[in-house]
Amino acid sequence: MIDFLVLPTTAQARLARLSSAVSGVVPKETRTWKIKTRQLSQSDPKPKIIREVKDWLESGCLYLYTFQIADKRVDTSELTNAYAEARSAKIGERAYARPNSASLCLYVGSSEKIHQRLKEHLGFGAKGTYALHLVYWASPFDIEINFECAKYPKGTSKKAIQTLEDTLWAELLPMFGRQGSW
């Protein structure tokens, strides 16, 4: 039987542990890359950005990233409709991330192999991995997306990164994907 009277104390202890886990956790470096959706092509499965991100990769580091629309005047309803169509029709036989509400932030995530995760989001990775798969629905649009990434030093705990990711997710309310779990 659940003791609801003790639940607030249990929640406070849990939040204190999470607070302690993120205390002093700062990235060693951040980078932003521009992605022009119109330039994405299924016939070019190795865009330059993937090589650049792979060159930036440092073994043992953890990465927190976002995909955000650069121009605040973009009609996000057109994007959500195109995404919903691609997801419903299973274009490219891809596993599309869960749609949420309209936002200028498309996705928030974390990864150890950031170049591989980027490849999946662009639509050139594994078909069964939940991702944006941008090449399959966003290439008809002339949109610039900022791929912002923070590199955290070796030894940073996955619990800390997950907490930071969940916090960023709650702040930005991305259009696609799901919030992790603390």
20 belongs to a structural domain: no
pLDDT at 181 over 70: no
18 belongs to a structural domain: no
Is residue 41 within 8 Å of residue 78, measured between CB atoms? no
Percent of the chain clearing pLDDT 90 (strictly above)? 87
143 belongs to a structural domain: yes
10 belongs to a structural domain: no
21 belongs to a structural domain: no
111 belongs to a structural domain: yes
Task: State the burial class of residue 159 (Cβ atoms within 10 Å of its Cβ: 0-12, 13-18, 19+).
Answer: middle
pLDDT at 4 over 60: yes
177 belongs to a structural domain: no
pLDDT at 102 over 90: no
Each residue's pLDDT tens digit, 18-39? 899 899 999 999 999 999 999 9
Between residues 80 and 180, the one the model is more confident about: 80
Question: What pLDDT is recorded for position 60?
Answer: 96
Q: How many domains does the chain have?
A: 1
Each residue's pLDDT tens digit, 67-93? 999 998 998 999 999 999 999 999 999
